[in-house]
Amino acid sequence: MENQIRKIAVIGTGTLGTQIAVQAAHFGCQVAAYDADKESFARSHKDLKSVFDKTSTPPLFTPELWEEEARKVRLCDEMGDAVKDAELVVEAVPEDIELKRKVFSQIDQLAPRDALLATNSSSIPISKIESATNRPEKCLNLHFYFPVLGTNIVDVMGGTKTTEEVLERGKAWVRSIGCIPLTVKKELLGFCFNRVWRAVKREVLHMWANGYVDFRDIDRGWMVFTGMPQGPFGLMDNVGLDVVYDIEMVYYNESKDPKDRPPRALKEKIQRGELGRKTGKGFYTYPNPEYERSDFIK
Ligand code: NAD
């Protein structure tokens, strides 16, 4: 395809940025990456490999190949070096609007004038970041899912000035790295599929916290119905219950609808340090959660 994006830069190589960089390298992009913490890529890469080694769903490429593809990413000590030739810059720094605006302003000054600038934010619409740059028409949300390897969908959303051409180029690039773009036609908190998943979370948390059903039965139903290896509670444990709570609060703060407020029982779990897989206990206990046992859905 003419005008196809092949040179990309990833800013912030934590959990998501590292996966985006490796995925793009695997699909033939020239990838440069920068992180304020020089150890971040190596650390994230190692943690992710251990997750992929254990995963029961087949990734797009094997853990061995993941190692090899990671070596193709050019790690840079300076942001300017990473973005100097980029056609697209994907920002994946932490979910803090002021930090993202600062990083976007820096990228804007260092990247070529015609480069597209995307944020991987889970909840911040690009309309709240674009004004930190002198190119709002070239800014967009490209929201990847964890793990990028197995969940190859990307929400695509423009801001107040994003052109159709920029959105089309963004979507073409997403397709070129083995992912399916999900287009948001007008600004919506939570984007496309992320909002669907969020509606599921809100409902099941309410059913659990108010004592209607055992959370395991919701997961059993979900696993049989969808064929997935976990249900919503297992998935939330993997994301981290603190992260889930913060995301629910973003929705609640926007709507102020009491139905959107995450249940107190979830907050209490977090206060007890039950954050999910990362602390060994969430809804389930780890490393061998009940839902991974063969008799869980028998
Ligand atoms: P993370 O904490 O794992 O990684 C963030 C990285 O950004 C860190 O390595 C940090 O050193 C780096 N960083 C911080 N400030 C920086 C700066 N000024 N310049 C360059 N690098 C800087 O976070 P993550 O989970 O990868 O999330 C990143 C973004 O992706 C967030 O916006 C988050 O909402 C989004 N996201 C996360 C997930 C997920 O499952 N973790 C899924 C989809 C989207």
At 55 the pLDDT is 62
Which residue's alpha carbon is nearest to atom 44 within ligand 1?
A: 122
DSSP for 106-166? HHHHHS-TT-EEEE--SS--GGGTGGGSS-GGGEEEEEE-SSTTT--EEEEEE-SS--HHH
Q: Can you tell me which atom of ligand 1 is nearest the CA of 146?
A: 40
The pLDDT tens digits of the residues spanning 169-199 come to 999 999 999 999 999 999 999 999 999 999 9
Q: What is the pTM of this model?
A: 0.90
What is residue 210's DSSP assignment?
A: T
Residues 6+ apart with CB under 8 A from 179: 23, 144, 148, 152, 153, 154
Taking the centre of ligand 1 as the mean of its atom positions, its distance from the CA of residue 82, in whole angstroms, is 17
Pairing outcome for strands 7-11 and 116-119? unpaired
Side-chain-side CA neighbours of residue 22 (13 Å): 30
Domains of the chain, with CATH numbers? Answer: 7-183 (3.40.50.720), 194-292 (1.10.1040.10)
Model pLDDT, residue 239: 83
92 lines ligand 1 (CB under 6 A): yes
Which residue do the tokens 């190949």 mark? 65
Ligand 1 centroid to Cα of residue 142, in Å, is: 14
Ligand 1 pocket check for 180: Cβ under 6 Å: no
Looking at residue 49, its pLDDT comes to 79
Protein residue with its CA nearest to atom 43 in ligand 1: 145
Please give the angle made by the CA atoms of 226, 231 and 233, to the nearest 5 degrees: 160
Block residue for tokens 């190596």: 42
Ligand 1 atom with the shortest distance to the CA of 121: 32
Consecutive H or E run containing 196: helix 193-209
Say how many Å lie between the CA of residue 11 and the centre of ligand 1.
Answer: 9
CA of 35 to the centre of ligand 1 (A): 9
Calculate how far, in angstroms, residue 96's C-alpha sits from the geometric centre of ligand 1: 9
Task: Give 171 Cα–ligand 1 centroid separation in angstroms.
Answer: 22
Contact 170, 156 (CB under 8 A): yes
Q: Per-residue pLDDT for the chain (298 aa), expressed as one digit of tens each?
A: 556 999 999 999 998 999 999 999 999 999 999 999 999 999 988 888 777 776 655 566 677 788 889 999 999 999 999 999 999 999 999 888 999 999 999 999 999 999 999 999 988 999 999 999 999 999 999 999 988 877 899 999 999 999 999 999 999 999 999 999 999 999 999 999 999 999 999 999 999 999 999 999 999 999 999 998 899 999 999 888 998 998 899 889 989 999 999 999 999 999 999 999 889 999 999 989 999 999 999 8
Please choose, from the candidates 36, 43, 8, the residue with its C-alpha nearest in 3D space to the C-alpha of residue 103.
36
- Say if ligand 1 is within 6 A of residue 217 CB: no
